[in-house]
Structure 1
């Protein structure tokens, strides 16, 4: 089982519940620990969470075993691991692979592949927790948490916008500005489940971009999202007249790439278990590199 140990160094008495929630344990996880086979111990002895701690007390939290995702089938297609430790897994997803299973991609999404990897590694916890997702035809970095606690920690970072994701995108047209920001609201296109648009009734969305290099009739951008709307980069770039190369939905007349030229190249998040910042990088994939080479000035 997965366990965590903390020493209380404060001077005033504090409840176990308050102490461990201060380390990121959520109320939902507290209930799972209590009712589904976990444990909370103080100085090696089982303890209720309303017990008061004294200075020097050592608290151990043992997470309950998590049930497998029984509805998720196993794919043994290898994954490209960029980073892994006992709590987190970061994978470089290829274009053309869905992040999660769906009706159309039930057997070979990235989640299916990670499940196959967990089985091959004989991990005690076989539950798949995907934290960040990418569109099927967007390549790049995706974070998985290896247990409920790690997932809840990263969920909070997502809500607080402290997980930084940086993309590389090839867009139509030559952009003269070295740096720009886009502040435009995004909402659904009426009658479409998938497509989004800039619309006054949408949610404010903020995209920041830097020009990396200019090609003959295109531009390679480094892009950072300050909000997390569906298709945000694709919609914003189309709106300012520079849609992504190969984007079948927002640039349907361009067929120079079989998918949108978008790649999640960098990820940064905080690991509270190791008290460190994790920074991951994934190089530009071959199809985008080839496109840049063919379209240099």
Structure 2
């Protein structure tokens, strides 16, 4: 059955295009898929069908009819994945840059989930549904690095609880614009939707608490190689906090300069280390990964 959702446009959302507004409300759906739903006349504004370019107004009542997901399209695919560790409870995968973690409507192929479905067969937790089997947490498409996959529901719940308690070790490395003067910086600033652009996150007063511990790894001319340890795990946390101290990530076209001399597409950000209490042994285990080739190449150029 189709799913019907209703939204009431707030004052600060007025002026957004209809497709942009719905993209911000329905975070898991691609804008192109939302445009298709609008084209198929499954979206109404105040009872009237509008086009994607319609500019929403305060108090507009928007109803969207989301087609039932075609679950059969989430198929196992023989895509090579870098498995760092695996047992009957947990798998640690080193995700390459430019790979989406899980399918979303309109984008059912080539994701990490397609790859792990092929590798694990039916041995994945079902807590996050058919579209996100085994996925306990995620990293952005353009972020490379380590991810935990839960192979059963007990493991999933146990790992999710540690994420909630902020007891999981998560360290990232990145390259940012500018030379960071301090050796260590802790940023404790709340993060929420950017009121001026609902597709972005920002430091906002009424956001959720977000804490990032930054440390300089190496300084270069006009750039700095940094390490970040997450205390909380908000959407785009490192990217938003780095911007808040005026050092946006290299290659980050959403929060940083549109162009860069290294022609990097996507933020130079790698999830390097992850550590947690194992669901069965109850012992702490930790995994470290090498910096990817693209990252090392930039460092060599900077040197």
User: In structure 1, which of residues 73, 87, 112 is the aligned counterpart of residue 114 of structure 2?
Assistant: 112
1:104 Cα deviation from its structure 2 partner: 4.7
Alpha carbons 1:245, 1:254 under 8 Å: kept: no
Corresponding residue of 1:6: none
- For the pair 1:130 / 2:132, whether they are aligned, the reply is no
- For the pair 1:261 / 2:262, whether they are aligned, the reply is no
CA distance in 1, matches of 2:99, 2:237: 20
What is the number of equivalent residue pairs in this alignment? 225
CA distance in 1, matches of 2:248, 2:299: 16
Q: 1:103 to 1:125 in 2, by over 3 A?
A: closer
Alpha carbons 1:118, 1:126 under 8 Å: kept: no
- For the pair 1:204 / 2:209, whether they are aligned, the reply is yes
- For the pair 1:177 / 2:177, whether they are aligned, the reply is no
1:126 Cα deviation from its structure 2 partner: 8.0
User: In structure 1, which of residues 280, 284, 288 is the aligned counterpart of residue 295 of structure 2?
Assistant: 288
The answer to which of 273-282 and 141-150 deviates more is 273-282
1:99 Cα deviation from its structure 2 partner: 0.7
1:271 Cα deviation from its structure 2 partner: 0.7
Corresponding residue of 2:245: 240
Corresponding residue of 1:162: 167
The answer to which of 97-106 and 191-200 deviates more is 191-200
The answer to which of 183-192 and 277-286 deviates more is 183-192
1:254 Cα deviation from its structure 2 partner: 3.1
Corresponding residue of 1:97: 99
Q: Secondary structure at the match of 1:95?
A: coil
1:253 Cα deviation from its structure 2 partner: 2.6
Alpha carbons 2:124, 2:134 under 8 Å: kept: no
Q: 1:124 to 1:209 in 2, by over 3 A?
A: closer
Q: 1:111 to 1:245 in 2, by over 3 A?
A: same
Alpha carbons 1:98, 1:105 under 8 Å: kept: no
Corresponding residue of 2:66: none
CA distance in 2, matches of 1:75, 1:165: 28
Any unmatched runs of 5+ in structure 2? 1-70, 127-132
Corresponding residue of 2:35: none
Corresponding residue of 2:90: 88
Q: Secondary structure at the match of 2:210?
A: strand
CA distance in 1, matches of 2:154, 2:125: 14
TM-score normalised by the chain length of structure 1 = 0.72
CA distance in 2, matches of 1:149, 1:135: 26
- For the pair 1:223 / 2:223, whether they are aligned, the reply is no
Q: 1:208 to 1:160 in 2, by over 3 A?
A: same
Any unmatched runs of 5+ in structure 1? 1-68
Q: 1:209 to 1:144 in 2, by over 3 A?
A: same
Q: 1:76 to 1:126 in 2, by over 3 A?
A: farther
User: In structure 2, which of residues 73, 76, 84 is the aligned counterpart of residue 74 of structure 1?
Assistant: 76
TM-score normalised by the chain length of structure 2 = 0.71
CA distance in 1, matches of 2:146, 2:198: 25
Q: Where does structure 1 differ by over 4 angstroms across 4 or more consecutive aligned residues?
A: 123-127
CA RMSD of aligned residues (A): 1.7
Q: Secondary structure at the match of 1:182?
A: strand
CA distance in 2, matches of 1:243, 1:125: 36
